[in-house]
Amino acid sequence: MINPLKFAHMKPDDYCQERAANSGSSFYYSFLFLPPEKRQAITALYAFCREVDDCVDECSDPALARQKLDWWRTEVERVFHGKPQHPVGTALADSLGHFALDEAHFHAIIDGMLMDTTQHRYASFDELSLYCYRVAGVVGLLAAEIFGYQDPHTLDYAKHLGTAFQLTNIIRDVHEDARRDRIYLPQEDLQRFGLNDQDIIDARVSDAMQQMLTYQIQRAQDFYRLAFAALPEADRHSQRSGIIMAAIYQRLLKQISKQPLMVFRQRASLSPLRKLWIAWSTHRGENRRQRQSARHA
pTM to 2 decimals? 0.92
- Predicted pLDDT at 297: 59
- Span 49-97, pLDDT tens digits: 999 999 998 888 999 999 999 999 999 999 999 899 999 999 999 999 8
What is the rounded average pLDDT of the residues 151-162? 97
> Residue 164 above 80 pLDDT?
yes
Task: Report the alpha-carbon distance of residue 260 to residue 172 in Å, rounded.
Answer: 9
Residue 226 CB-density burial (10 A; 0-12 exposed, 13-18 middle, 19+ buried): middle
